C-alpha cells in the first residue's frame, strides 16, 4: 500500500507538472497591435437573467473599441422574470426573442443567424481577444481563415469557500485547456470566452450534431471543429481574461457540476479522459485510505503520502494559475477547497458514469 501511494503520488505530480510545462502563460505586456477595421457580433443567450443582464450588457457596450464596428445581440430564451423587457429597454443592442425551439443553443443559433458581421463572439468576450486572428504577423491562409479561438476565464469575487473553490478550479482548468490546445491533444472551451467566424460555424454545421444535449454549446462545438480539422487557438494574453460570477451557493454549484459531468462521455477524447481519470483515482485513493485507516494503520501512512504530495503540488499549481489571473486571494480557502474537491470529484464521477436528468434555468433536462 505504501509503494502504491508513492507511485500514485509520482504519477499525479508528473501529470500536473506536464500540464503546466505544456501550457502557456498569458503575456504580461499588452499587445500594441490594433484591431483595425475588424467588425464583431457579440451574441448573448439569456434565460431568467433579470438580475444580471443589465450589468452584462453594459460591460459589452463599454468596450474600448468604436461602437459602430461591433454589435451586441441578446436573445431571450423564453424568460419568465422580465428579462426580455429589460433588454428591450437598453439602447444600443439588438434584443431578440426565441420563438422556435428552446434552450441556449437555439438562442445562440438565432443570434448568429441574425448577426451582420463575420466574427462571432460569445457572451462576455472582450474584443481585444480576437487580436491573434485579426492581426497576425501574416494574413491567414485559406486553410486558417475559419479558425476558432478560446481564452481564459476568471471567477470573481472569491470571498467564500464555494466561490474560492470555483476560482481555483477555473484557474487550473484554464491551464488544462491551454495545454490541450497547444499540444493538439484535446480541445476544451469555455462559453464565456470564445470566438469564431460565421463561415467556420456554417462549415461545422452549427450546433446540429449535438443539439440533443441541452448544454455544451462550447465543448461540443469545438470538439466537432477539431474533428473537422479546423484551426483552434488559445488566446494567451492577460487582456483576454474574462471575469464571470461564481455560483450563488453550493446547491447551484452541484447542479452545474452535474450538468458538466453528464456530457463528459459524449465529447471527451482519450487524452482528457486520462487526465480526468488520474485526478479521480488520486482523490478516490486518498479518501479510501483515510477510511481504511480506521481498521488498517498502514493505510494512514499511504493516505499521508498522497495527501502531502497532492497538497504541495496543488498549492504550487494554484499559486501559479491564480497568479496570472490576479486571483490569489482565493488561496485563503485552499484547505477548504481541497476538502470540497474530494466530494465534487466523487459527485462528478458518478454523474459522468451514470448521467441523468438535471435542473438548468428552471428546466428539467438531460
How confident is the model over 18-47, as pLDDT tens digits? 999 888 765 554 444 344 467 889 999 999
Asked whether the whole model's pTM tops 0.95, one would answer no
Q: What local confidence, expressed as pLDDT, does residue 123 receive?
A: 52
Report how far residue 225's alpha carbon sits from residue 230's, in angstroms, rounded to the nearest whole number.
5
Report how far residue 172's alpha carbon sits from residue 21's, in angstroms, rounded to the nearest whole number.
13
The secondary structure of residue 319, as a DSSP letter, is H
What are the pLDDT digits (tens) for 52-101?
999 989 888 887 778 888 899 999 999 999 999 999 999 999 999 998 88
* φ, ψ dihedrals at 159, nearest 5°: -110, 15
∠ CA(47), CA(178), CA(334), 5° rounding? 75
Mean per-residue pLDDT for 303-315? 95
Q: Is 235 helix (H, G, I), strand (E, B) or coil?
A: coil
Please state, as a whole number, how many other Cβ atoms lie within 10 Å of the Cβ of residue 1: 16
**Which value, to the nearest 10 degrees, does the dihedral of the CA atoms of residues 343, 349, 352, 355 take?**
-60
Q: Angle at which helices 270-292 and 161-183 pack, to 10 degrees?
A: 140
Q: What local confidence, expressed as pLDDT, does residue 342 receive?
A: 92
What are the pLDDT digits (tens) for 181-224?
988 888 888 888 888 999 999 999 999 988 888 788 899 999 99
Compute the half-sphere exposure of residue 176: CA atoms within 13 Å on the CB side of its CA: 19
Report how far residue 58's alpha carbon sits from residue 90's, in angstroms, rounded to the nearest whole number.
9
> Which residues lie across from 94 on neighbouring strands?
73
Amino acid at each position: 500500500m505504501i509503494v502504491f501511494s508513492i507511485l500514485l503520488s509520482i504519477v499525479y505530480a508528473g501529470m500536473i507538472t506536464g500540464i503546466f510545462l505544456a501550457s502557456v502563460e498569458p503575456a504580461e505586456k499588452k499587445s500594441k497591435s490594433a484591431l483595425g477595421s475588424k467588425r464583431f457580433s457579440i451574441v448573448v443567450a439569456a434565460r431568467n437573467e433579470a438580475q444580471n443582464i443589465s450589468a452584462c450588457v453594459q460591460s459589452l457596450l463599454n468596450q474600448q473599441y468604436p461602437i459602430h464596428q461591433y454589435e451586441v445581440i441578446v436573445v431571450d430564451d423564453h424568460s419568465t422574470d422580465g428579462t426580455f423587457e429589460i433588454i428591450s429597454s437598453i439602447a444600443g443592442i439588438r434584443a431578440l426573442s426565441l420563438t422556435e425551439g428552446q434552450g441556449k443553443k437555439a438562442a445562440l443559433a438565432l443570434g448568429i443567424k441574425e448577426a451582420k458581421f463575420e466574427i462571432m463572439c460569445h457572451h462576455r468576450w472582450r474584443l481585444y481577444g480576437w487580436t491573434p486572428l485579426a492581426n497576425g504577423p501574416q494574413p491567414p491562409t485559406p486553410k486558417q481563415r475559419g479558425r476558432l479561438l478560446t481564452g481564459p476565464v476568471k471567477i470573481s469575487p472569491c470571498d467564500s469557500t464555494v466561490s474560492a473553490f470555483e476560482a481555483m478550479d477555473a484557474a487550473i482548468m484554464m491551464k488544462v485547456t491551454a495545454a490541450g490546445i497547444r499540444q493538439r491533444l484535446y480541445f476544451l472551451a469555455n462559453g464565456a470566452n470564445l470566438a469564431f467566424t460565421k463561415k467556420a460555424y456554417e462549415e461545422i454545421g452549427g450546433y446540429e450534431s449535438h443539439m440533443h444535449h441541452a448544454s455544451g454549446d462550447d465543448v461540443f462545438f469545438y470538439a466537432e471543429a477539431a474533428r473537422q480539422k479546423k484551426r483552434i487557438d488559445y488566446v494567451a494574453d492577460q487582456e483576454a481574461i474574462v471575469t464571470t460570477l461564481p455560483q450563488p451557493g453550493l446547491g447551484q454549484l452541484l447542479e452545474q457540476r452535474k450538468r458538466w459531468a453528464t456530457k463528459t462521455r459524449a465529447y471527451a477524447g482519450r487524452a482528457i479522459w486520462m487526465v480526468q481519470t488520474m485526478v479521480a483515482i488520486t482523490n478516490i485513493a486518498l479518501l479510501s485510505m483515510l477510511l481504511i485507516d480506521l481498521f488498517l494503520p498502514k493505510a494512514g501512512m499511504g493516505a499521508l503520502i498522497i495527501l502531502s504530495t497532492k497538497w504541495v503540488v496543488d498549492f504550487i499549481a494554484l499559486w501559479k494559475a491564480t497568479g496570472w489571473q490576479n486571483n490569489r486571494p482565493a488561496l485563503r480557502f485552499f484547505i477548504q477547497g481541497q476538502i470540497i474537491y474530494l466530494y465534487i470529484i466523487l459527485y462528478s464521477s458518478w454523474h459522468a458514469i451514470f448521467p441523468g436528468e438535471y435542473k438548468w434555468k428552471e428546466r428539467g433536462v438531460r
